[in-house]
Amino acid sequence: MTPIRIIVCGFGNVGRAFVRLIEDKQDDLKNRYGIAPKIHAVVDIGGAAIADTHGLPLDQLRELMDSGQSIERMASFGRPGMSGAAILQTLSADVLVEATPTNLVDGEPARTHINAALKKGMDVITANKGPVVLFYKDLQERIQSSGGRLFMSAATAAALPTLDVGKLCTAGAHIRAVEGILNGTTNYILTRMGQEGCDYTTALQAAQDLGIAETDPTLDVEGFDTRNKIILIANQLFDQCLGITDVETVGITGVRREDIEKAQTDGRVIKLIGSVRWENNRLCVKVAPEALEADHPLAGVHLSEKGISFDTDSMGRITVTGGHSSPTGAAAALLKDLLHAYCFYRE
């Protein structure tokens, strides 16, 4: 049995969902995979909870989450005001699970957390896109010098296995192009526009009413979320160090009802596509609405579903669709990366 000491930074929806999965699946993790994950510390905006050598009691964590209380109020373990940076300076652990909110200005506080963990040789599993989008090259250099590893499945479309398929399932093949519907909100809006003949504003309001779109949907509808994900995919699969300014990005706010109708008349469907393609021996990465042929494997991905398609030289086209677009889906990707790190690809 392999014990794994985990520090969780960020105790919002994703961080809490991850802890719930660890509790719900603890017997399965021991019996099927031979690992015993222990939550040694949890950090949130108001403070932290730090365990003894046995880890935080999962039943008490569950009670705290169910009651809606902050982590620093956990009896006997709470540390009001203690930061993630302080935890990582003083506590030894095997893995950092980074689940703080994404910051695309300077990557903080996740950047500090990840750098501190790598400096100590810890493995990092992140759902936070900020540092890996903004400072990918720097992180790769830190990984090389530290011996730690970085896993980011949860940052590249949550439960949809983008990197797994691209890195592992296409081994031996040359990937000529990647196309992805990587944002469930924009796909929902475009689907409603196509199915109901409504305009963008009406479809957006419907998405907001259902809680699919945020009150401020800019990150999604301007294509920025898709851009961030396709950057990570391109960097990982094509050995690049692309940044935000390297990707031509067009969102869906300019898509009109007439555009949808014209595409339907032509037997096509409009989707927001993040793509990576080799063109004239140059790697081109972009995000834009595209009118897909009806038989395109992503044309049938509707509502808030996502999908990714790989065009390869020797395996043909490989497409994966689905995966929960939810905190639980992102948490499941974090858990998957933990299993990959300690069960399947341990170096």
Pairing of β 307-312 and β 175-181? antiparallel
The answer to whether residues 2 and 36 touch, using CB atoms and an 8 Å cutoff, is: yes
- Residue 232: which of 154, 309, 176, 174 has the closest Cα? 154
User: What is the torsional sign of CA 121, 135, 236, 184?
Assistant: positive
Residue 32 CB partners (closer than 8 Å, separation 6+): none
The answer to whether residues 50 and 59 touch, using CB atoms and an 8 Å cutoff, is: no
The span from the CA of 47 to the CA of 93, in Å, is: 18
The answer to whether residues 160 and 301 touch, using CB atoms and an 8 Å cutoff, is: no
The span from the CA of 236 to the CA of 157, in Å, is: 14
Tell how far CA 263 is from the center of its chain: 31
Backbone angles phi, psi at 41, to 5 degrees: -160, 145
Return the active site residues. Answer: 229
- Residue 218: which of 171, 168, 243, 183 has the closest Cα? 183
The span from the CA of 42 to the CA of 7, in Å, is: 6
The span from the CA of 89 to the CA of 117, in Å, is: 9
